[in-house]
Amino acid sequence: MTQKIYEALRWASSFLIEHKRDANAGELLLQHIVNMGRSELLANMHEQLTEEQQQIFKEMVNRHGAGVPIQHMIGTEQFYGRSFIVNSDVLIPRPETEELVWHTLHKRKSKSAPEKDIIMADIGTGSGAIAITMKLEWPQLTVYASDLSEKALQTAKRNSEALKADVQFLHGDLLTPFIERSMKLDLLLSNPPYIPLSDRETLSTVVADHEPELALYGGEDGLDLYRRFCEQLPKVLNPGAFVGFEVGAGQGEAVAELLQQAFPQAAVTVEYDINGKDRMVFMKI
């Protein structure tokens, strides 16, 4: 016997709580299945689901209970008001990364001379969320995006085509593709892997078992990639360049110190996200 929308959601909520998942996940999955926005779904709570819809919903809720990310089932995630293709080859974009983009635009866009060609790079681009969003929000930028993963770059290219963003993609490790090409950058953003290896056991299976390890772990203390960045940055930054990193909560001061050691004259600041956690470090040289 088929259920009404509210009955299906009530079952899903109870099931997901029991499996230590977010109770609201069922709502997102059902929106996808019945092709309705949230307000439309809420307005149709007494509508009957078809047998096929109910079966698909039950399977998806069960899969999420077992740890499969909702975004991998739906195939997309929202970032800065746009829909990005995501899969197991890329990190699912997070709200904290939206804040990295927002702060960068707030700090730099209004301060940049309109006639100057500003070269930007997004390092470890994954789905391309940072690079594509920056290009669409600030069209005057010349934007490059790099990643060590060829599969991630394929996903990022699909997103850039779907969203009509003119981004140039380079394959390689951290700043090596730019160093090899003798390129200089005015703006660099990155959300590198920063989870300490020791945290592997405490991660949710939704993250640990389904998102690419290459995008998650940053060595024993989570800071390995930032150390490597600090070795390479002097080779690629133009005078007056601006750098923005996303960091793990509690890593802000350590990353700021690494940058300050590499660039003693630079202005380095730690920014806190809307939850009051130190999640961004910015540097102006």
Residue 81 lies in a domain: no
The number of distinct structural domains making up the chain is 2
Long-range CB contact pairs, 107-110, < 8 A, 24+: 107/242, 107/282, 108/187, 108/242, 109/137, 109/138
Annotated binding site for substrate: 191-194
Annotated binding site: 124-128, 147, 191-194
Q: Domain range holding 171?
A: 87-284
Indicate whether 96 and 61 sit together in one domain. Answer: no
pLDDT of residue 49: 92
CATH number of the structural domain spanning residue 132: 3.40.50.150
Annotated binding site for S-adenosyl-L-methionine: 124-128, 147, 191
Which region among 5-9, 215-219, 251-255 has the lowest average model confidence (pLDDT)? 215-219
- DSSP-assigned letter for residue 163: T
Residue 175 lies in a domain: yes
Length of the chain: 285
Given 17, 36, 66, which residue is the final one in a domain? 66
Tell me how far CA of residue 60 lies from CA of 36, 98, 214, 246, in angstroms: 17, 27, 26, 31
The pLDDT > 70 percentage for the chain reads 87
Q: In sequence order, which residues have a C-beta less than 8 Å from that of residue 122 and are 6 or more positions away? A: 128, 130, 131, 134, 143, 144, 145, 146, 189, 190
Given 66, 99, 116, which residue is the final one in a domain? 66
Indicate whether 130 and 239 sit together in one domain. Answer: yes
Residue 217 lies in a domain: yes
Indicate whether 115 and 237 sit together in one domain. Answer: yes
Indicate whether 62 and 92 sit together in one domain. Answer: no
Indicate whether 24 and 105 sit together in one domain. Answer: no
Residue 77 lies in a domain: no
Indicate whether 53 and 101 sit together in one domain. Answer: no
Indicate whether 187 and 218 sit together in one domain. Answer: yes
Residues 85-134 have pLDDT tens digits of: 998 888 888 888 999 999 999 888 767 666 578 999 999 999 999 999 99
pLDDT of residue 260: 93
Residue 48 lies in a domain: yes
Local confidence band at 213 (pLDDT 50, 70, 90 cut-offs): low
Indicate whether 34 and 101 sit together in one domain. Answer: no
Better-scored residue on pLDDT, 111 or 175: 175
Which region among 183-187, 247-251, 274-278 has the lowest average model confidence (pLDDT)? 247-251
pLDDT of residue 9: 92
Q: Could you tell me the two tokens for 135? A: 């290009």
Indicate whether 263 and 123 sit together in one domain. Answer: yes
pLDDT of residue 220: 60
Q: In sequence order, which residues have a C-beta less than 8 Å from that of residue 106 and are 6 or more positions away? A: none
Residues 60-87 have pLDDT tens digits of: 999 888 888 888 888 888 999 999 999 8
Local confidence band at 23 (pLDDT 50, 70, 90 cut-offs): confident
Residues 249-275 have pLDDT tens digits of: 888 898 999 999 989 998 999 999 888
Indicate whether 127 and 218 sit together in one domain. Answer: yes
Indicate whether 141 and 15 sit together in one domain. Answer: no
Query: CA-to-CA distance for 184 and 266, rounded, in angstroms?
Result: 17
Residue 72 lies in a domain: no
